[in-house]
Each structure stands twice: as structure tokens, then as C-alpha cells.
Amino acid sequence: MKPNNRLKTISEYHFQKLDIIKKNMLNDGKKIIDLSIGDPDLPVENSIINALIEGLKIKDFNKYPPYEGIQQLKKGIIKYYEQVFSVKLEFEEVLILIGSKEGINNIVPAVCDIGDYAIIPKPAYPVYETSCHLWGVNAFEIPLLEKNLYLPEVKFIPKDILPKSKLFVLNYPNNPTGAVANSEFYKEIIEFCIKNDIVLYNDGAYNEIIKEGEAPLSLLQIDKKKQCIEFGTFSKIYNMTGFRIGYAVGNSQIIKALLKVKSNVDSGQFIPIQYAAIQALKLTRNYVDNIRKIFDERRQNAEQVLTEHNIDFFKSVGTFYIWCKTPAGYTTETFCEELLNNYGIIVTPGIAFGDLGKDYFRIALTKDKQEIVQAFSNLKVY
């Protein structure tokens, strides 16, 4: 068998590799703390679980769902965007996804032809690049630099690449750096993309994972004419990673193109899971703030112990990650190996997010604050 040549351009998904390493160590009886993948350890709120169970009692729950998602969930997302972001959406501007990862992949063929370019950030969530490779689209990597607060500068895009570009990818709050965007930045990028006829989307998976009490920012708050797209997920703030439920909102023509791809490659998400998502959206803002407070406390404690051990990090205010520099004399691989072999700590090597991450590693704050502090307290002072 000769596999698709495009598969040669992508490597095995890094977090799958980490999962294998973790299983092998546990089978060997070793004690570890896994701070690699962004899979929250917090429980799912009881009312969400109950809504999932009640969904199994609904007539025809076992039938194929509507390709675009059930109307009740679309209505819930419309209400959420109006209440939280003061953004008004129509039903044709909302699409339910089997997790936002599905949409991030499907928007590539929905917008781009083979040989076109997509402008993607680096360091970044690896799926932005691999999706391009799988669909025969070229990925131009625009650097995110700490001196620019990890916001991209369009001056880095070559003039010969720009006319060939169909898609511009943003991800704020940002994985892996934890950087956040602001209204002025969004305004500039929106204007740039409109001027150059490029579809802009924001992967807003961490829109709600910011400091307690602060107002989240949506790309659509700035994009008044709704020419862009924003992806959202229930995975992070509602601790529903395994449910695989997300959405896309924004420009109706792009939504329609996304649906055309989606309807040809999947049949939608299980209806009871969509009812669980409806209930999640009904939770109060107090619930959201309580989740943020937990991650705030974890961040503060982790930053303190990292500082005590001379490990530098980006002072971020978004997501539940800390983007750290490897100590002098180490590569990202050698330092992460030392953490694993000497201290039983699994973190993500920065190189997993692209070449610009080679001198960094990422900590996911997905364990109790006491576990995090105890794990890093054992480190030597670098």
C-alpha cells in the first residue's frame, strides 16, 4: 500500500506520543504528574451530566442529528453571544461542530484550493499546520514574538505570498503562550484581511479562560459586518473535552461552505451531547468566574515556585498554560527529559508547537495547585 504523499509532511500527533510515554511509565510503576495536554481535571457540573442523561429520553435521540446542529443549541449560542459579547447572530450564522478541531480542519477545504496559502501563527496548536498539509494547502508561518506580546505582525508576510493567501488563522487567548489579544489588534487584522480578500478566523477555545472578573473579548465584537469566523468549544471552561462539542459563528457564506464540507464527511454530533451543551450555556457567570479563580490560583502558585527555581516564563493572563523558557545549557528536549526522568513531571516541549518553540516548554495547569507546587518544588535551582 502506498499512503497519501501528504501524510509524509506531517508527523504523529505529539500528544499521542506523550500518551504512550505516560502509559509505559505507569505500567512500570513510576509516579508521574502529567502537565502536558490541555485536558482540565475539574469535574463536569452535575446539571450538564443530568441533561445528557435526560437527552437519552427524548424521542428519536438515536436518529441522525441535523447536520448543522439542533436548533435549541444554536439558539443557546445566539443567546450566549448576545449576553456575553453583545453580538447578535442569526441561525444561519451558527454551525454546531464535533469539537472545534473539526471546524479548524474543515475550514481549509471550505476556503482554500490546492496550492493556496494559509497564514498560520508559530508557535501554535499543531493542527493549524497539519490541516493545511492534509488538504494540499501551503502554510506560511507568521512568527509570534515575546517582544510583540505574541501578536503577529503582517509585515512578516512576503509580498509574493499575500495574493496567494486565502486564510488567516488567529488563536486568542493563545495556546501555547497564554497571550491575549485586544480590540485595536483585532481591528487592524480585520481591516488587513478585508483589504487583501483573506478569510480571517479566531480559534476562541480559551475565550473564557482569562482572569476572574474580566470581560472576555470576541473577534465578532470588532467585526461588526461579520466577515470573519470564530470557533468556540465547550471543552475548556465546562470541562467537556471528551464530549466533542463545539461551534463556528460568523459570516453566513463561510458557515455555509463549512457545512457543505461537514455534511459530506460526518453526520453531526449525538443529540444528547448537544442537550448537555445547552445546559452548559445556562450556567451562571458565577460558574465561569469560579473556574477562572481556580486557574488563577494555580497560575499564581506555579509562577511563584518557578521563580524560586530561576525558570523564566511569559507573564500571561489567558488560557491555563504557562509558557516557560528552558534554562541555559538545555534544549527543549533535554530539559523536558530531565523533568520526566528525574522528577516525574510531563510537560510539552516547545518544539511541538513549531521551531520557534525550541527554547521553551509549556505547562498545563490541569492538576490541583498543591500537586503542581509539590512537583516543581523538588526541582534544583537553575
In sequence order, what DSSP letters do the residues of 147-196 get, joined into one string? GGTT---GGGS-TTTGGGEEEEEE-SS-TTT-----HHHHHHHHHHHHHT
pLDDT confidence of residue 16: 63
Output the 3-class SS for 23-83: HHHHHCCCCCEECCCCCCCCCCCHHHHHHHHHHCCCCCCCCCCCCCCCHHHHHHHHHHHHH
CB 187 within 8 A of CB 217: no
Q: Which stretches of the chain drop beneath a pLDDT of 50?
A: none
Instruction: State yes or no: cis peptide before 123, omega within 30 of 0.
Output: yes
pLDDT confidence of residue 8: 73
pLDDT confidence of residue 364: 98
pLDDT confidence of residue 85: 98
Cα angle value 124/125/130 (rounded, 5°): 105
136: left (phi over 0), alpha (psi -120 to 50) or beta: left
pLDDT confidence of residue 15: 58
pLDDT confidence of residue 12: 65
2-56 pLDDT per residue, tens = 778 777 777 765 556 666 777 777 777 778 899 999 999 999 999 999 999 999 9
The C-alpha atoms of residue 18 and residue 20 are separated, in whole angstroms, by 5
Residues in CB range of 20: below 8 A, 6 or more apart: none
The C-alpha atoms of residue 225 and residue 189 are separated, in whole angstroms, by 14
Q: What would you measure as the largest C-alpha separation in the chain, in angstroms?
A: 62
pLDDT confidence of residue 24: 75
The C-alpha atoms of residue 33 and residue 12 are separated, in whole angstroms, by 23
